[in-house]
Amino acid sequence: MATTDPVEAARAWAAQDPDEVTRAQLEALIARTDAGDPDARAELAARFAGRLTFGTAGLRGELGAGPLRMNRVLVSQAAAGLAAYLLAREEKPSVVIGYDGRRNSDVFARDTAEIMAGTGVRAILLPRLLPTPVLAFAVRHLDTSAGVMVTASHNPAPDNGYKVYLGRLDHGSQIVSPADAEIQAEIVRAAERSIADLPRSDAYETAGEELVDEYVRRTAELSTDAQPLKVVYTAMHGVGWETARRVFDAAGFPDVVSVAEQQEPDATFPTVDFPNPEEAGAMDLAFAAAAEHGADVVIANDPDADRVAVGVPDGAGGWERLSGNEVGWLLGWRAARRAAALGLEHGTLACSLVSSPALGVVARKEGLDFAETLTGFKWISRVGGLLYGYEEALGYLVDPEKVRDKDGISAAVEVLALFSELKAAGQTFAEHRAAFADRFGAFASGQISVRVADLARIPELMARLRAEPPREIGGIRVEQIDDFSGGFAQFPPSEILRFHLEGGSRVIVRPSGTEPKLKCYLDTRSDEGTAAERQAAADAALAALDAGMRALLA
């Protein structure tokens, strides 16, 4: 495998590939290359120009043959590398492995279990395809050294991924540096030999249903004294429905209508362009069902159910999806009130730095600590004294004692409990929104994504913003600029610029970590006037910032 010639590398890869489909892909490309087809050679070169790197999100990529795709060879190498890493850390390590409904997820999970068992790591496979939060729960509940979840979450249909959690001293959080680099080094060493030579064993364990039962029981406990609600739910062709339905029933919300067209796991995601509730149109079927059934609220999980989106009536006969930030700050207020009711004098609300500053205002007003982290729940889940954490991309951690990752099912129960309490109090959601604005101020948030064809364009735009920093954006004066490139406050060096503007508005600019995009996060607030006047002012400022940033980046 050390050769730099893509054809020879492809021959060596195909020779060890146990998957007939991906092996046939390579053999066909090799045959075409041997016949002088330049396109086939170029395709092999693209697949063998490197390898998917094991980073802090694990592995994620398109299914296919070669080291720059997700396949059984790459996953076997990853499992062997992770096993070596765990054996170097502990005398008797253990791992629990879960998988979702994407293509080859079950195959990758069994390969991992066999290789772990073959190396002497105690391996426990979840009993069937299940949501990511159940795997995250299992790491803590079973007290394993690590967890592996085979999922690509809300990525496009051709993708799959390999997410790793560390238990015990890491409390079941996703991996962070330097563990990612150390695991990657072990994977590279494992790749020096054929996967046919890796020891395998079928002596792995399969977890019992009682583990899922305990997740259901503990999640349902988040709701008490539930009032009847009419709920529409969509699993977005993922694995959420079976577990979510059991949780909703146990939590006192049996009247849930599932969107039938999206209920069962389907790796092709036939009714959506992208299986992500944030995408335009992804919740249209759910909104149609909500209108038909007169629902109070819509709940949408992404395919592995670690994220949740919430839909509410828009007051004009239609439906709106709440922003990830609005759900985030409302659940944060709920967490603060629960802490007060329990008499807790200390605790922390946390969010990623690109999420709305509203949560910080909630924490200060309610006498709690507040922490900002880099993006990703691998950071949020590690905050000390954590009561609640969220990030604007529909991720919420509402029960840190049970799960140290975002959990779309637990968060859904919190949302339903909130609506239930509002109904019991005779209060509408619109009134609850206004009460938040009265107490904390009104907030608005938005995003701009600048997609580029040439990746060099992104550093050019960042360099221009540093060399010629704007004095105003959309007519709003810039008061301060934070440049994270050399490290800032508690944050390590990061390619992030943060602009603080007059009136409490804020703009954050950073490259996307997964796509060829420059992302801009816009946040505004207002404390003047009635709740309605505050919201109108925040919305107007947001529109001005949006127009100003688009002009600035044109």
Q: At what angle do helices 324-341 and 408-424 cross, to 10 degrees?
A: 70
Interatomic CA distance for residues 343 and 76, integer angstroms: 49
Asked whether the beta carbons of 90 and 125 are under 8 A apart, the reply is no
- Is 173 catalytic? The answer is no
Distance of CA 358 to the CA centre of its chain: 21
Residue length, the chain?
554
Asked whether the beta carbons of 320 and 287 are under 8 A apart, the reply is no
Query: Which residue is listed with tokens 């290789």?
Result: 115
221 CB neighbour count, 10 Å cutoff: 13
* Alpha helical stretches, state H, 35-120: 38-47, 72-89, 105-119
365 CB neighbour count, 10 Å cutoff: 13
Interatomic CA distance for residues 105 and 474, integer angstroms: 47
Please list the residues that pair with 225 across neighbouring strands: none
DSSP codes, 443-509: EEEEEEEEE-SSTTHHHHHHHHHHHS--SEETTEEEEEEEEGGG-BTTBPS-S-EEEEEGGG-EEEE
Closest C-alpha to 447, from 512, 372, 493, 501: 512
Phi, psi values for residue 450, rounded to 5° = -100, 100
Interatomic CA distance for residues 41 and 38, integer angstroms: 5
CB proximity list for 326: less than 8 A, separation 6 or greater: 443, 445
Q: For the stretch 279-298, what's the b/e string if a residue is b when 16 or more beta carbons lie within 10 angstroms of its beta carbon?
A: eeebbebbbebbeeeebbbb
Single out the catalytic residue among 94, 105, 145, 153. 153
Q: At what angle do helices 358-365 and 429-440 cross, to 10 degrees?
A: 70
Catalytic residues: 153
